Amino acid sequence: MDRVKAGHGRGLSALALVRAQHRAGWNVRLLVSGVRDPALLPEGPAGEALFDDRTVDVYRRVEAVDRVAAALEVRTRPGDVIVSHEGVDLAAACRLRGRRVVAAVHSDPGACLGYLPLPDLRAAVRRTDHWVAWGRAVAAGLHDSLSVLPARTTVSAQAVEPGGPRPVPLPGSPACLSVARVHPVKNHGFMLEACAVLAERSPGTHWHMVGGCDDSAYLRRLRRNAERLGVSQRITWHGYRDDAGAMMLGSDVTVLASHSEGVPRAIQEAMALGVPTVMPGSLARDLLHAGLPVTYEPDGPEALARAVEAARLVGTDRLAAAAAWTGRTWAWSRVLGDWARVLSRIGEEVPVAVL
């Protein structure tokens, strides 16, 4: 498991992948740290603590690379494949001898890896056996920014498991929902501005923000901005929720406004559930089908407001077609097939250690 805090998209995607590999009978281990809520860990395989205390969090802490490498030296053995979902893990794994390394990159490589010291970044590019890019835009970024050749890259993402949750009705008309951690890259401020534009035309507008936040000062700034825009009563900050799918079904539109993404988990899930979706056009290339998601160019909040209004008009036939396509395209059979080909390429014959 990567160092992303429990509840963040990257960590949830990594855990879902391990669960699926385990169910399929793969010989897979899960090494964890920074675990705040053990209930989020899968029943199988059991999460093994990378350190003696698995609550120790080294996410994005470059000073901890030596410590992570030392722990991996003990917890793995020559011949293992180490799959990393975060930069510190990747830098540490690339310092070990005799292990093969696969890097799963979930978003813009600059954001995921650019904070690493240059020597570690160069070593990762040279030493990593294969890269799994969450979407074609991420694969292009690996090539353009790190000169990773397409032959060393597989495009995949998380699978969707929408199930059939009972809807949680959300107040508002429209009731807009954003499922994203509260972080500048997710562009919540832009959504607040779009909410203000929508409210002028639709007085019942309400925007529901679902996602954890590790920066209380940033959240306070967003709240003050909502007050300045006159929409503080139209915004609900729900924090992290484990029933996001049910909330999607209870919304009118699910919205993503991020500056960068790979294949966004929230939009994937909403499409698979047949919920109208909106996201920036530059991030939608791996998800477009039947005119969904409704896309916009982020040149101002009016563009996002118009996209929300357009999404509400999408017919049920298009929603059903997009749901069926998403379920087929991003099924576990496809994702596990991608990973099987990756491991086959690097000659995997031994247990896989996943961070």
Per-residue pLDDT band for 4 (boundaries 50, 70, 90) equals very low
Range in 17-21, 62-66, 121-125, 147-151 with the lowest mean pLDDT: 17-21
Residue pair 213/181 in contact (Cβ under 8 Å)? The answer is: yes
More confidently predicted of 178 and 19 = 178
Per-residue pLDDT band for 12 (boundaries 50, 70, 90) equals confident
Residue in this structure with the two tokens 């357009």, named with its chain if needed: 310
Per-residue pLDDT band for 54 (boundaries 50, 70, 90) equals confident
pLDDT exceeds 60 at position 1: no
- Distance separating the N- and C-terminal Cα atoms of the chain: 4
pLDDT at 351: 65
pLDDT exceeds 60 at position 240: yes
pLDDT at 2: 32
CA nearest to 176, candidates 5, 301, 9, 286: 301
pLDDT digits (tens, 9 = 90+) for 288-321: 999 999 999 989 999 999 999 999 999 999 999 9
CA nearest to 61, candidates 85, 89, 99: 89
Q: How far apart are CA 258 and CA 183, in angstroms?
A: 9
Q: How far apart are CA 57 and CA 34, in angstroms?
A: 4
Range in 32-46, 236-250, 263-277 with the lowest mean pLDDT: 32-46
Q: How far apart are CA 56 and CA 183, in angstroms?
A: 22
pLDDT exceeds 70 at position 45: yes
Q: Across residues 207-226, what is the average pLDDT?
A: 96
pLDDT exceeds 70 at position 282: yes
pLDDT at 307: 98
pLDDT exceeds 90 at position 264: yes
CATH of domain 9-159+332-354: 3.40.50.2000
pLDDT exceeds 80 at position 36: no
pLDDT exceeds 80 at position 5: no
Query: The tokens of 304 are what?
Result: 């996002």
CA nearest to 168, candidates 245, 92, 222, 241: 245
Span 175-329 CATH architecture: 3-Layer(aba) Sandwich (3.40)
pLDDT exceeds 80 at position 353: no
Residue pair 273/248 in contact (Cβ under 8 Å)? The answer is: yes
Range in 18-22, 183-187, 252-256, 347-351 with the lowest mean pLDDT: 347-351
Per-residue pLDDT band for 349 (boundaries 50, 70, 90) equals low
Task: Tell me, letter by letter, the H, E, C secondary structure of the chain.
Answer: CCCCCCCCHHHHHHHHHHHHHHHCCCCEEEEECCCCCHHHCCCCCCEEECCCCCCCCCCCCHHHHHHHHHHHHHHCCCCCEEEECCHHHHHHHCCCCCCEEEEEECCCHHHHHCCCCHHHHHHHHHHCCEEEEECHHHHHHHHHHHCCCHHHEEEECCCCCCCCCCCCCCCCECEEEEECCCCHHHCHHHHHHHHHHHHHHCCECEEEEECCCCCHHHHHHHHHHHHHHCCHHHEEEEECCCCHHHHHHCCCEEECCCCCCCCCHHHHHHHHCCCCEEEEHHHCCCCCECCECEEECCCCHHHHHHHHHHHCCCCHHHHHHHHHHHHHHCCHHHHHHHHHHHHHHCCCCCCEEEC
pLDDT at 289: 95
Q: Give me the percent of the chain exceeding a pLDDT of 70.
A: 95
pTM of the predicted model as reported, rounded to 2 decimal places: 0.90
Q: How far apart are CA 191 and CA 211, in angstroms?
A: 14
pLDDT exceeds 60 at position 210: yes
Torsion of CA 273, 282, 128, 180, to 10 degrees: -50
Residues of the chain with CATH 3.40.50.2000: 9-159+332-354, 175-329
CB atoms within 10 A of CB 311: 25
Q: Across residues 248-267, what is the average pLDDT?
A: 96
Residue in this structure with the two tokens 């835009």, named with its chain if needed: 137
What value does the mean pLDDT of the chain take? Answer: 92
